[in-house]
């Protein structure tokens, strides 16, 4: 017993000496990850997989048109620089959120699209949940369909990751619940008629029957916050960005399923 604990202590010290932090503890082990679609009814699973009938594909189709439309004063379209999205954008969404090398800021896909619009197209940034931004994010994320989620939490991203993780495990709202209490401790169990999922972001933007429209991951986070009677922060809040990074790390390896269909 004493020898085992001494060995463990030695390992930890070694890791610290090597400059790395102690190994990340995952609330749900990588081989236990299940996408949200595993918790859907047969009907919704089939609807998500139906290329024609998946309602979110209407936004993907619109996004494809917007991709080729010139924007802002530049008269350049996304295609002007990025050409064929099915090639240029493949795998991109799976690596977001990520640190923007130039500004050092953490950007999600919406942030990156708006940065491109403002800096390279001389266009106005698009509002969260606007038809245009939803269409573009749905289209771009869909180009990563099947690609495993894989984000970096190294370097400057580390601070955002730690902040996101703290948010995830913090109780909040009138119901005094943290994300972990439903999605880590009680996934697979019932909440009224619904089965609690593990809360992964890999199918967003998604068409939610409750919204009767497509929405972003931030909208889904806000929905959860209102559900536990916590304050919904405004769209684009840095807390959401940090949480998005943590959620992406937590979903590492899950294939991108966007655009998803959810309740």
Other C-beta atoms closer than 10 Å to the C-beta of 127 total 14
Beta strand 206-208 pairing with 260-262: parallel
Q: Which is nearer to another protein, 25 or 43 (CB)?
A: 43
- Distance separating alpha carbons of residues 50 and 72, to the nearest angstrom: 35
| All residues at 6 or more sequence positions from 187 whose CB lies less than 8 Å from its CB, including other chains | 28, 34, 39, 196, 197, 198, 199
Q: Is 200 in the site for another protein (CB under 8 A)?
A: no
Q: What is the smallest separation between the CB atom of 155 and another protein, expressed in angstroms?
A: 32
Q: What is the smallest separation between the CB atom of 211 and another protein, expressed in angstroms?
A: 7
User: Taking Cα atoms as reference points, which of 261, 217, 251 lies closest to residue 39?
Assistant: 261
Q: Which is nearer to another protein, 112 or 222 (CB)?
A: 222
Judge contact between 250 and 200, C-beta under 8 A.
yes
Q: Is 234 in the site for another protein (CB under 8 A)?
A: no
Judge contact between 88 and 82, C-beta under 8 A.
yes
Return the residue of 33, 36, 44, 259 that touches another protein, per CB under 8 A.
44
Q: Which of residues 22-41 bind another protein (CB under 8 A)?
A: 40-41
Q: Is 52 in the site for another protein (CB under 8 A)?
A: yes
Return the residue of 20, 25, 193, 234 that touches another protein, per CB under 8 A.
193
Give the distance between the most distant pair of CA atoms in the chain.
71
Could you tell me which stretch among 16-24, 115-123, 164-172, 214-222 binds another protein (CB under 8 A)? Answer: 214-222
Q: Is 152 in the site for another protein (CB under 8 A)?
A: no
Q: Is 194 in the site for another protein (CB under 8 A)?
A: yes
Q: Is 231 in the site for another protein (CB under 8 A)?
A: no
Active site residue 224: yes
Q: Which is nearer to another protein, 149 or 261 (CB)?
A: 261
Instruction: Give the N- to C-terminal CA distance of the chain in Å, as an integer.
Output: 50
Cα separation values, 177 from 113, 190, 221, 263, Å: 33, 16, 14, 21
Rule CB under 8 A: which residues touch another protein? 40-41, 43-44, 47, 52-53, 55, 57-58, 61-62, 191-194, 207, 209-213, 215, 219-220, 222-224, 226-228, 232, 263
């Amino acid at each position: 017993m004493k020898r085992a604990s001494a060995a463990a202590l030695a390992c930890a010290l070694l890791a610290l000496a090597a400059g790395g932090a102690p190994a990340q503890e995952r609330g749900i082990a990588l081989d236990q990850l299940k996408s949200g679609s595993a918790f859907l009814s047969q009907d919704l699973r089939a609807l998500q997989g139906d290329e024609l009938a998946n309602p979110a594909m209407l936004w993907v189709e619109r996004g494809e048109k917007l991709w080729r439309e010139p924007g802002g004063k530049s008269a350049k379209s996304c295609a002007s620089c990025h050409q064929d999205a099915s090639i240029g954008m493949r795998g991109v969404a799976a690596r977001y959120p990520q640190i923007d090398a130039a500004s050092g800021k953490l950007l999600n896909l919406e942030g990156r699209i708006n940065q491109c619009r403002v800096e390279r197209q001389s266009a106005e940034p698009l509002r969260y949940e606007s038809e245009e931004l939803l269409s573009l994010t749905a289209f771009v994320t869909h180009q990563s369909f099947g690609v495993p989620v894989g984000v970096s939490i190294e370097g400057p991203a580390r601070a955002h990751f730690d902040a996101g993780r703290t948010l995830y495990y913090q109780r909040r709202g009138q119901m005094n619940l943290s994300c972990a209490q439903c999605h880590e401790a009680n996934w697979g169990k019932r909440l009224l008629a619904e089965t609690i999922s593990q809360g992964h972001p890999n199918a967003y933007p998604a068409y939610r029957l409750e919204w009767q429209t497509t929405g972003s991951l931030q909208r889904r986070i806000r929905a959860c916050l209102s559900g536990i009677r916590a304050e919904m922060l405004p769209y684009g809040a840095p807390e959401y960005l940090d949480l998005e990074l943590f959620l992406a790390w937590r979903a590492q390896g899950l294939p991108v399923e966007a655009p998803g269909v959810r309740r």
